[in-house]
Amino acid sequence: MLRNAWLIPLLPAISFVLILLVGKRLPRKGAEVGVGMVGASFALSCVALVQWIQRVDDHEGSGGGGHAVRGLAKALVPAQEAAEHGLPGVAAVTRSFTWWQNGGVKFDVGIQIDGLAVMMMFVVTFVSFMVHVYSTSYMEGDRRFTHFYALLSLFTASMLLLVVANNTLELLVGWELVGLCSFVLIGHWWEEKPNSDAAVKAFLTTRTGDVGFMIGIIIIFFAAGTFDINGINEYALSDGANHTLLVVGASCLLLGIIGKSGQFPLHTWLPDAMAGPTPVSALIHAATMVVAGVYFGARLFPVFYEGFSIDAGGINAMALIGGITIVIGAVLAFVQRDIKKVLAYSTISQIGYMVMALGVGAWVAAVFHLFTHAFFKALLFLGAGSVSHSGSHHSFDMKNDMGGLRKHMPITFWTFMIGSLALAGIFPLAGFWSKDEILATAGHADFEFFLVVGLLGAFMTAAYMTRCVYLTFFGEYRGHGQPHESPPAITVPLIALAGLSVVAGLINAAPLGIEKFTEWFEPGVAFPVLEHADFNYTLATVSVLTALIGIGIAAYLWFQEEELGAFKGLTQRNTLAHAGYAFLENKYYLDALYENVIVASIKGAIANVSYWVNQHVIDGIVNALGRGATTVGRATYDALDQRAVDGAYNGIAEATGDTGGLLRYVQSGRVQRYALTLFAAVGALSLALWLVY
């Protein structure tokens, strides 16, 4: 299966085509094709996962031992020593063929299946499968149901293509397809202006980052001389690598990650992307769009590692971007009324954790957080969708249409609680293990600043999720309807995701002696030797306590006091608080900055220049061409057509007429004249013959 992993992205792609072609004629409008194909793809991913794990285990058993050294005591083994062992880990399974060749440069298409890809395929297909199942009920009766399923499949296929790609060009194709699909799906209900605006905004904002991404790919190609991911990674780690090119290339690539993964300062598209249907939000946030950036960062990690000198500690661009994003995302989550926007800002903040983790060299922690986050964030989004579907009449406004849903929707409530606690990082749920690993590595590897940022983020995460849960499920019901539990197609995926949100973290639970995640998924070749921090009990306790304090404060404020508690009316009474609230309400004025300052200024200048060019250059050329054509046409008419062509035909006609006029005298019609001519001719000939002989 590892060698045939190309089947995994192919199945959803086939599903896309099938649904488009015959979806509308099927009894379930194409949903059965999507669910079936993605389900099959998920099954294949599971097979690939199992085979990969066997491969790693066999490798260890046969004495390869790379991971044995990195086992329990690996943090104790200094980096140099591990490097001296020189034990190659399990190599990726690659397979490719030449797409086209041009002047000695070969462009391949292929797959590179290693631990990271296998893990990612599992996450993507699992979440996508859940979303496909969920949507059968959630999107029921939608006017573009078939269309929705087709694109959902294409979205999954594109992300899987990005995951299996073995070179940066192929990855770029997947990357752009993901962007395109998200554009179409966010604008699924495009009839309403805000939705299509959100889609355009998402597309253009990520595109801004993609420009950097493409430039980065090109720079890295000229540095390493190859598009092959493995080759690039080996080049980045080799002694002969050009450090300047790596710095510039890594910075450009980071711009792409910032755009795609919703990092500061290009995060503004992500909350607006909530205009799309909820299952799409779940897919974008948990499995496809935004994690693509983190996945890319993990895939080409050596480039960033060398480019940003991550081993040196201190502060670097990647970690800084991640750190800033954690805080600004979490703060904005407090002032949202829309439950999905709370989750969107939460995603921004959590992806910030992953980018920061990559920035501090915590590769395993970043990927591990991606893994666990996928489950509980998909769970939270689908839970929010369930609430709006059955509890609040398709509204996402927590303050006006929700509240007190705990009793009406027990399954949704409990699964949402699990998701929230996992997100807040409460022991022993998934989020605890991955977040703790990030913090531990940050603290271990001379990145104390980011340890503090991470703890601050954990505190705020716990607090805003408490607010969100309170507003949605506790207090009095404020909506106008009959809230009830959602149908099984919605609750079953919730339960499945909740189960994984509980146990997924245990795969890398250091105190229990399980570090399977590191063992299975950390690349063994073309990878920098990273220090793995020990599990730090103090830190773990501190982080859980921080989260609990966050929950406690938030709960006190909202539970003890009526409605909005002590904060009620604060923004009206206190000018400073009011200003701060307004600042947050307007999302730091970043949108205003982008639209009114940056876009407006550029727009005017571009428009003026374009107008000038249009008036003077293009019009000039067009007019000159027109005049030239007219002149040539007139000359042709006069000289060629009138004189040469017409003259020739008229001349021929006149000559024919004249000849005819002359010849008509011969044609007298009198027999005897003809006979005379005949005899005269015979006489003349005879005379000639007689003279000759």
Partner 1 sequence: MLAADVALNQYLILSAFLFCTGVYGVLARRNGVLVLLSVELMLNAVNINLVAFSAFTRNISGQVFALFVITIAAAEVGVGLAIVLLIYRNLRSPDLDRVDQLKG
| 665 contacts partner 1 (rule: CB under 8 A) | yes
Q: Quick one: 650 or 667, whose CB is closer to partner 1?
A: 667
Q: Quick one: 79 or 684, whose CB is closer to partner 1?
A: 684
Q: Residues 421-430, buried b or exposed e (16+ Cβ, 10 A)?
A: bbbbbbbebb
Q: What are phi and psi of 123, to 5 degrees?
A: -60, -50
Smallest separation (angstroms) from partner 1 to the CB of 682: 10
Smallest separation (angstroms) from partner 1 to the CB of 667: 3
Query: How many residues contact partner 1, by CB under 8 A?
Result: 13
Contact (Cβ atoms closer than 8 angstroms) between residue 316 and residue 308: yes
Q: What residues contact 148, with CB distance under 8 A and at least 6 apart?
A: 135, 139, 142, 185, 188, 277
* DSSP class of 637: I
Q: What are phi and psi of 113, to 5 degrees?
A: -105, 110
Smallest separation (angstroms) from partner 1 to the CB of 669: 3
Q: What residues contact 337, with CB distance under 8 A and at least 6 apart?
A: 397, 398, 399, 400
The torsion defined by the Cα of 662, 668, 673 and 675, in degrees rounded to 10, comes to 90
CA neighbor of 471 nearest in space, from 396, 541, 545:
396
Which of 556, 612, 637, 679: binder of partner 1 (CB under 8 A)? 679
Q: Residues 154-175, buried b or exposed e (16+ Cβ, 10 A)?
A: bbbbbbbbbbbbbbbbbbbebb
CA neighbor of 262 nearest in space, from 325, 198, 354:
325
The region of 231-239, 587-595, 639-647, 672-680 touching partner 1 under the rule CB under 8 A is 672-680
| 672 contacts partner 1 (rule: CB under 8 A) | yes
Q: Quick one: 663 or 692, whose CB is closer to partner 1?
A: 663
| 669 contacts partner 1 (rule: CB under 8 A) | yes
Smallest separation (angstroms) from partner 1 to the CB of 661: 10
Which of 676, 681, 684, 687: binder of partner 1 (CB under 8 A)? 676
- Distance CA(410)–CA(405), nearest Å, equals 8
- Distance CA(220)–CA(56), nearest Å, equals 30
The region of 144-152, 294-302, 556-564, 674-682 touching partner 1 under the rule CB under 8 A is 674-682
| 101 contacts partner 1 (rule: CB under 8 A) | no
Instruction: Count the alpha carbons within 13 Å of 208 in the hemisphere toward its beta carbon.
Output: 19
Instruction: Identify the burial level of 6 via C-beta atoms within 10 angstroms of its C-beta, where 0-12 means exposed, 13-18 middle and 19 or more buried.
Output: middle
Smallest separation (angstroms) from partner 1 to the CB of 693: 18
Structure tokens at 195: 């939705």
| 662 contacts partner 1 (rule: CB under 8 A) | no
| 670 contacts partner 1 (rule: CB under 8 A) | yes
Q: Quick one: 61 or 657, whose CB is closer to partner 1?
A: 657
| 686 contacts partner 1 (rule: CB under 8 A) | no
Query: Which amino acid is present at 546?
Result: T
| 644 contacts partner 1 (rule: CB under 8 A) | no
Residues in 194-223 that interact with partner 1 by CB under 8 A: none
Q: Residues 312-333, buried b or exposed e (16+ Cβ, 10 A)?
A: eeeebbbbbbbbbbbbbbbbbb
Which of 666, 689, 691, 692: binder of partner 1 (CB under 8 A)? 666
Which of 663, 689, 691, 692: binder of partner 1 (CB under 8 A)? 663
Contact (Cβ atoms closer than 8 angstroms) between residue 159 and residue 126: no
Q: Quick one: 650 or 659, whose CB is closer to partner 1?
A: 659
The region of 283-291, 564-572, 651-659, 669-677 touching partner 1 under the rule CB under 8 A is 669-677
The region of 28-36, 451-459, 576-584, 668-676 touching partner 1 under the rule CB under 8 A is 668-676
| 107 contacts partner 1 (rule: CB under 8 A) | no
Smallest separation (angstroms) from partner 1 to the CB of 660: 9
| 675 contacts partner 1 (rule: CB under 8 A) | yes
Smallest separation (angstroms) from partner 1 to the CB of 690: 14
- HEC letters along 553-566: HHHHHHHHCCCCHH
| 671 contacts partner 1 (rule: CB under 8 A) | yes
CA neighbor of 163 nearest in space, from 116, 131, 126:
116
Q: Quick one: 193 or 664, whose CB is closer to partner 1?
A: 664
Contact (Cβ atoms closer than 8 angstroms) between residue 213 and residue 179: no
Smallest separation (angstroms) from partner 1 to the CB of 677: 10
CA neighbor of 199 nearest in space, from 151, 253, 129:
151
| 54 contacts partner 1 (rule: CB under 8 A) | no
Q: Quick one: 99 or 679, whose CB is closer to partner 1?
A: 679
| 690 contacts partner 1 (rule: CB under 8 A) | no
| 667 contacts partner 1 (rule: CB under 8 A) | yes
Smallest separation (angstroms) from partner 1 to the CB of 679: 6
Smallest separation (angstroms) from partner 1 to the CB of 652: 21
Residues lying near partner 1 in the complex (CB under 8 A):
663-672, 675-676, 679
